[in-house]
Structure 1
Amino acid sequence: MKKQSNKNTPSKPGFVFGKKNYVVMAIGLAVIAFGFILMAGGGSDDPNVFNPEIYNFRRIRLAPTIVLLGFGIEIYAILLDPNKKKKE
């Protein structure tokens, strides 16, 4: 006699994302953190002295670009299908 599964029994809930998604999300978070680290600094200890280092290339162009790249990686990680198989 075959045991039939009851359609009314709730299935075991799983994670929304797969392992691959979480790995890519961790990479995205690391890239975002790196961008914010690059933005840090450039201030002056004396409030009466202006330090033009606050406007250098690293803080104005490079760091925000890296942060936006990290957000793009996060969006990709959310949209990534963990069940998709590789074609061989």
Structure 2
Amino acid sequence: MAQQPFKPTAPVKNTTAAAKPAYKATETKPVSFIFDKGNYRLLIISIAVVALGFILMSGTTDIYSNTKIVIAPLVVLGGFALGFFAIFKKPSVKVD
């Protein structure tokens, strides 16, 4: 049993007399960025800390050293934590 296509009984009329204007003039506000200078500085520092952790992990001698197994992964995790903090930190509010 196939369904019959629906046909409207009367055409829909659009009235243009009651139409509102397409746009309304609004006040322009100065552009405010999501991050401020401090956020970017912390993000760059976190990238450097993660890179330092990977440098500590690299090398071919003494695979089971305390630096490569314990300290370097903690430094990398600390760098990622600092990066998350840099992203979630709210910028300081400047009162004009």
Q: What TM-score does the superposition give when structure 1 sets the normalisation length?
A: 0.69
Q: Percent identity of the aligned residues?
A: 40
Which has more helix, going by share of residues? 1
Distance in 2 separating the partners of 1:15 and 1:77: 14
Q: 1:30 aligns with which of 48, 57, 81?
A: 48
> Cα RMSD (Å) of the superposition?
2.0
Aligned residue-pair number: 70
Q: Please, which runs of 5 or more residues in structure 1 have no aligned partner?
A: 1-5, 44-52
How far the C-alpha of 1:55 sits from its partner, in A, is: 1.0
Q: 2:65 aligns with which of 30, 47, 56?
A: 56
Q: Which has the higher contact order (CA 8 A, sep 6+)?
A: 1
Q: Please, which runs of 5 or more residues in structure 2 have no aligned partner?
A: 1-24
- For 2:20, the equivalent position in structure 1 comes to none
Over residues 13-47 of structure 1, what are the superposed CA-to-partner deviations in whole Å (9 max), with x where a residue is unaligned?
A: 5432111100000110110000000000025xxxx
Distance in 2 separating the partners of 1:13 and 1:28: 27
- Note if 1:19 corresponds to 2:37: yes
- For 2:92, the equivalent position in structure 1 comes to 83
Q: What TM-score does the superposition give when structure 2 sets the normalisation length?
A: 0.63
